[in-house]
Amino acid sequence: MSRATILGLVKMNKPESLPLPVIDENAFKEEIDLKETFKSNVTLVGGQIKEIEPNSIDSEIQSLYPNKTKIVSITNKSTLGTVQISPNTDPHTLQDIDLAIVEGDLGVSENGAIWVTGEASILRALPFITNDLVILLDKTKICLHMLDAYKLIAKRDRTFGVFISGPSKTADIEQCLVVGAHGAMSLTVLLI
Amino acid sequence: MNHAKRATEFNKDEAKVNWHDKALWYVREKRDKSAHNVHGWEYLRELGSALKANVLSNLDTYLVQFEENAKKNGVHVHWAADAKEHNEIVLSIMNKHKAKKVVKSKSMLTEECHLNPHLEKHGIEVIDTDLGERIVQLAEEPPSHIVLPAIHKTKEDVDVLFQEHLGTIPSQGNPEYLVGEARKHLRNKFLNADVAITGVNFAVANTGGFVVCTNEGNADMGVHLAKVHIACMGIEKIIPREEHLGVFLRLLARSATGQPITTYSSHFNKPEEDKEMHIVIVDNGRTEQLSREDFRASLHCIRCGACMNTCPIYRRSGGHSYDYTIPGPIGSILSPGKDLKKHSSLPFASTLCGSCSNVCPVKINIHEQLYKWRQVIVKEEPQPVIKKTIMKTAGKVLANPKLFEVAGKSARFALKHAPRFMVYNKLNAWGNARDLPEVKGDSFEEWYKKRNKNNE
């Protein structure tokens, strides 16, 4: 009932139709080194980033996170996984996961964000509930800005996806930045 | 109590006000730095504004499109005309699932609708999970800022609050320790919640999806663990197409905190298997604001809080002095539309310096709207006798050059020679807590004439 009321009121009260603006992307063009800018932005938002060879993924993760025992790896690029999950796993059981390793689809140079889909983490809760998070990213998959990013993810099956930029953080106590709020305490991006 | 009186309360603790003022200005500076890093920033703001204007002028079409697409994705869509209906809908979903525990991420809409007390009245535990919101919830206060809800609290305040409610040990306000304890406390709440409630930053008409932005990850922790997700949104949260997120996500966090983007920008389209997703679309006065030509642009707002951080009045009077869910300049143009009488002092809580309009990512003409509300208010609301008399007199004096000259002379004479109590009293708000400038001998006109003569 309220649906009709609200839509009726909108129709009655809205202004005359204004055009949908056409976005002139030339205004945002920049000749920058996408990878280097991306790297510096990942660091700016509190993450760490390393460019490595594909065969050193496991050794790199082991040296960065030496004492992790409960590891979920959702990628065939790493063999470090110790806990298997499936779409039927109760996400609550992930509460004591030490480390999750997932693959990102796309990095955004302007803000260090990485697109991670629900499918890439099997359970949507994983990249948030894990204590620490490692995202693997193909170094050729970095775009300039968010407008480009949405073009590149346009043809996807829309279920759930998240741009992750750094580890979880808060400044709610006297504006002091504290890394590690409710989500992952640390984020490492491995560029491959 | 009006804004000025509540601001006086806030100003009793001078050190705290100074800190508040500086902390918010620092956020404003971070915003500047971040914005200047973006090639084409001003054009981006223009796009944001034009997109929102297009949305408002086709809002009914976009709402229907959004609903249709969301339903196709298996999302339940509800419509609420006002706060009461919104709260009833949320409660009915809770009851359907026999839910007793809710975790909520930041949503100014549910604050506006006073959802928490409604659910609590029906025996449901509601936990605000954004750290700042949890702090003010424990203190039984409303948020004082839309992005930094507990900006009015010192770390020592938080320390005491956590000792009382979370059983922490005294830490003299150690932020790392306090955040760590809050993480443990809230993790337990996330793991045991039946339902997660979130707000909506942007709802996309052409996909039926919506985006929720947080830094803490609290929205996602709630949603991905609970069986049911309820997302509450005002009708103005719609944007036409997904690619337009590319404009708004570039603007939002930079304007809010100076970050290039929030840590998490979560895109919800379909519920996870065996779970339910609900969207409640709320009017609650928005269609009325849409009807007001002078004020409808206030519905462009994307809730970044930049106008608060920059406002010289907000920074020195605190969010609670506005006594409205959305404080600061934007709140002062939204609130009179809801209750003109109650909020009639808010459009006057401004110097009309225009800084709010200058930083607004969607270019709302905030200070012009403040001025327009003043004109409405002086016509419709009785004004204090002193103010009325002074305004009338000033009007006459300023309209008459001879009178103006005499008045200027007497004022300069009085400021120089009159005893202090005659200059600094209740009638002269400008003399309150500050000394008026030293009076030089001449008026500008006299000085200018002399100067010309000397140069001849």
Contact B39 A30 (CB under 8 A): yes
pLDDT of residue B440 exceeding 80: no
> Are B232 and B84 in a shared domain?
yes
Q: Report chain A's mean pLDDT, rounded to a whole number.
A: 97
> Are B97 and B241 in a shared domain?
yes
User: Which value does ipTM take for this structure?
Assistant: 0.98
Residue B25 lies in a domain: no
State pLDDT tens for residues A59-103.
999 999 999 999 999 999 999 999 999 999 999 999 999 999 999
pLDDT of residue B456 exceeding 80: no
Structural domains in chain B (count)? 2
Range of weakest confidence among A125-139, B277-291, B405-419: B405-419
Give the gap in angstroms from C-alpha A93 to the nearest C-alpha of chain B: 9
Residue B338 lies in a domain: no
pLDDT of residue B422 exceeding 80: no
Chain A residues in contact with B262 (beta carbon < 8 A): 165
B427 Cβ contact list (under 8 Å, min separation 6):
B386
Please give the Cα distance from A71 to A57 (Å, whole number).
14
Q: Among B233, B265, B284, which residue terminates a domain?
A: B284
Ordered structural domains, chain A, with CATH: 35-191 (3.40.50.10420)
Residue B216 lies in a domain: yes
Tokens of B428: 């002269």
Best of A165, A182, A185, A189 to mutate (most B CBs within 10 Å, chain B) = A182
Q: Among B284, B303, B336, which residue terminates a domain?
A: B284
Residue B373 lies in a domain: no
Residue ranges of B 159-218 with Cβ closer than 8 A to chain A: 173, 175-176, 178-180, 182-183, 186-187, 190-191, 207, 209, 215-218
Q: What angle do CA B392, B295, B63 make, to 5 degrees?
A: 165
Exposed / middle / buried, residue B142 (Cβ in 10 Å: 0-12, 13-18, 19+): middle
Share of chain A above pLDDT 70, in %: 100
Please give the Cα distance from B315 to B205 (Å, whole number).
36
Please give the Cα distance from A43 to B94 (Å, whole number).
42
Bridge partner residues of B3 (DSSP): none
Residue ranges of A 87-116 with Cβ closer than 8 A to chain B: 87, 91-92, 95, 108, 110-113
Q: What angle do CA A47, A51, A52 make, to 5 degrees?
A: 125
Please give the Cα distance from B197 to B279 (Å, whole number).
10
Please give the Cα distance from B197 to B128 (Å, whole number).
9
Residue B421 lies in a domain: yes
> Alpha helices of A47-156 — where are they, by DSSP H?
57-64, 126-129, 146-152
* pLDDT-derived band at B327, boundaries 50, 70, 90: very high
Q: Among B284, B313, B348, which residue terminates a domain?
A: B284
> Alpha helices of B141-231 — where are they, by DSSP H?
155-166, 175-192, 218-225
pLDDT of residue B166 exceeding 90: yes
pLDDT of residue B1 exceeding 90: no
Please give the Cα distance from B242 to B450 (Å, whole number).
66
Residue ranges of A 30-69 with Cβ closer than 8 A to chain B: 30, 41, 44-45
Alpha-carbon torsion angle B244, B246, B251, B252, nearest 10: 80
Contact A87 B266 (CB under 8 A): no
- Which pLDDT does position B368 carry in this prediction? 98
Q: What angle do CA B379, B385, B390 make, to 5 degrees?
A: 90
Bridge partner residues of B76 (DSSP): B278
B250 Cβ contact list (under 8 Å, min separation 6):
A110, A145, A146, A147, B38, B44, B261
> Are B275 and B400 in a shared domain?
no
State pLDDT tens for residues B207-225.
999 999 999 999 999 999 9
> E strands, A48-109, where?
48-51, 71-73, 99-103, 106-108
Contact B308, B334 (CB under 8 A): no
State pLDDT tens for residues B349-380.
999 999 999 999 999 999 999 999 999 999 98
CB B43: neighbour CB atoms within 10 A?
A: 16
* pLDDT-derived band at B438, boundaries 50, 70, 90: confident
Please give the Cα distance from B324 to B311 (Å, whole number).
16
Please give the Cα distance from B345 to B356 (Å, whole number).
18
Tokens of A73: 């790896």
Q: What is the CA radius of gyration of chain B?
A: 25
Contact A190, A135 (CB under 8 A): yes
- Which pLDDT does position B454 carry in this prediction? 83
pLDDT of residue B432 exceeding 80: no
DSSP-assigned states of every residue in B49-117: HHHHHHHHHTHHHHHHHHHHHHHHTT-EEEEESSHHHHHHHHHHHHHHTT--EEEE---HHHHHTTHHH
Bridge partner residues of A114 (DSSP): A107, A164
Contact B354, B343 (CB under 8 A): no
Q: Report chain B's mean pLDDT, rounded to a whole number.
A: 94
Provide the 8-state DSSP code for B130.
S
Give the gap in angstroms from C-alpha A38 to the nearest C-alpha of chain B: 12
Nearest alpha-carbon partner for B264 in A124, A33, A154:
A124
CA dihedral over A163, A166, A170, A174, signed as positive or negative: negative
Residue B20 lies in a domain: no
> Are B125 and B254 in a shared domain?
yes
Provide the 8-state DSSP code for B339.
-
Contact B81 A175 (CB under 8 A): no
State pLDDT tens for residues A23-73.
999 999 999 999 999 999 999 999 999 999 999 999 999 999 999 999 999
Contact B162, B168 (CB under 8 A): yes
Chain B residues in contact with A159 (beta carbon < 8 A): 269-270
* pLDDT-derived band at A8, boundaries 50, 70, 90: very high
Residue ranges of B 104-143 with Cβ closer than 8 A to chain A: 129-132, 135
Contact B344, B336 (CB under 8 A): yes
Tokens of B197: 């409630």
- Which pLDDT does position A30 carry in this prediction? 92
- In this structure, which amino acid lies at residue A64? L
> Are B402 and B267 in a shared domain?
no
> Are B400 and B279 in a shared domain?
no
Strand ranges across the sheet with B195-198? B76-80, B276-282, B228-234, B195-198, B101-104, B125-128
C-alpha to C-alpha distances, A58 to B177, B283, B299, nearest whole angstrom: 32, 53, 50
Q: What are phi and psi of A178, to 5 degrees?
A: -120, 125
- In this structure, which amino acid lies at residue B417? H
Please give the Cα distance from B215 to A134 (Å, whole number).
18
Task: Assign 3-class secondary structure to B320-380.
Answer: HHHCCCCCHHHHHHHHHHHCCCCCCCHHHCCCCCCHHHHHCCCCCCHHHHHHHHHHHHHHH
Contact B27, B259 (CB under 8 A): no
Residue B321 lies in a domain: no
> E strands, B272-429, where?
276-282
Q: Which of B1-5, B263-267, B397-401, B402-406 has the highest mean pLDDT?
A: B263-267
Tokens of B161: 């609050």
- Which pLDDT does position A155 carry in this prediction? 96
State pLDDT tens for residues B226-266.
999 999 999 999 999 999 999 999 999 999 999 999 999 99
pLDDT of residue B407 exceeding 90: no
Residue B252 lies in a domain: yes
> Which structural domain range is residue B445 located in?
394-455
> Which among A165, A167, A173 is the nearest to B261, CB-wise?
A165
Tokens of B165: 């409610």
Provide the 8-state DSSP code for B292.
-
Contact B304, B291 (CB under 8 A): no
Please give the Cα distance from B127 to B139 (Å, whole number).
13
- In this structure, which amino acid lies at residue B361? P
Nearest CA in chain A to B159: A173
Nearest alpha-carbon partner for A85 in A41, A118, A51:
A118
Please give the Cα distance from B343 to B288 (Å, whole number).
17
Residue ranges of B 16-45 with Cβ closer than 8 A to chain A: 23, 26-27, 38-40, 43-44
> Are B42 and B186 in a shared domain?
yes
State pLDDT tens for residues B7-60.
999 999 999 999 999 999 999 999 999 999 999 999 999 999 999 999 999 999
